[in-house]
Amino acid sequence: MCALRLRYHPSFHAKAMNDVQAPIPVVVRGASGRMGQAIIRLLGARSDLALAAALVRAGSPATGQPAAPGSNVIATAALDEAVEARVLLDFSIAPAFDEGLTLAVERRLAFVSGTTGLSAAQQAALDEAARSIPVLWSANFSIGVAVLARLGAQAATLLSEWDCEIIEVHHRNKKDAPSGTALALGRAVAAARGIDFGAVAQPARDGIADAPRDPAAIGFAAIRGGDIVGEHTVLFAGAGERLELHHAATDRDIFAHGALAAAVRITRLSPGRYAFAELLGQGMA
């Protein structure tokens, strides 16, 4: 067995793209959630970004409260017309996603989102919004995962006859399975092999199969337990050998650091749809 394991240190993002002189005003949507709170906390330590507004769902207990301990920004359900901002960070939930994207288009704000579980129609809405504003959606804001996707695509091309399986491990409270990151990795493999992801994805297996494994299939396995931040493995299995590409996240702050780094860079770009790794200047789409 040959295994390549990627471990990413969160200090990378803290150093990234910190050359803007005036702070960029940021709207955080989904501000009371775990990711929203991490973004607001880390944003407060940066000189290139400033929290302009913290948006929460209507009726949220967080409404009218400070966006975070010590913050002078009050959480609200709607963005005040008087608030000046340049970028909207959306980490809400899929049913609330459309409202946030519409707000960004109406206010001409750059849009960065990590909301998972989006439908095909919502992905199409992102493409349409990219006609008027710079847009970035990513299932994962870790640079290590971006590299993992690149390596997975390369391996898929070189090992075109090998079976591919993707294993993901997360904490007990994660609701969606497979994870958005696992699905993104699967799409990268399918694209590299020139096949339709929807036709070959096997998100789950149960019972007794009627036939052997389809050689073109991309299988998924989801594990939930404890407080595991997130691990993803892209496994290629051939005759007598296998290759595993593995990424483990041990600190949730890496995702918030990545989102903030993307927020800085995307405000410099013209309308269009961008990939996370592309914004970080890694030469990857």
Q: Which residues are catalytic?
A: 170, 174
Between the CA atoms of 109, 112, 114 and 120, what dihedral angle is there, to the nearest 10 degrees?
70
d(CA 283, CA 277): 7
Neighbour count for residue 238 (Cβ, 10 Å):
11
d(CA 170, CA 140): 13
Helix (H, G, I), strand (E, B) or coil at 165: strand
Confirm if 135 and 111 have CB atoms less than 8 A apart. Answer: yes
Helix (H, G, I), strand (E, B) or coil at 270: coil
Confirm if 81 and 97 have CB atoms less than 8 A apart. Answer: no
Instruction: Identify residue 85 by its one-letter amino acid code.
Output: A
Q: Quote the Cα angle for 16-259-253, to 5°.
A: 85
- Which helix or strand (DSSP H or E) is residue 111 part of? strand 110-113
d(CA 219, CA 164): 7
Confirm if 30 and 93 have CB atoms less than 8 A apart. Answer: yes
d(CA 280, CA 137): 14
Contacts of the segment 124-128: beta carbons below 8 A, 24+ positions apart:
125/98, 125/101, 126/101, 126/273, 127/273
Confirm if 33 and 89 have CB atoms less than 8 A apart. Answer: no
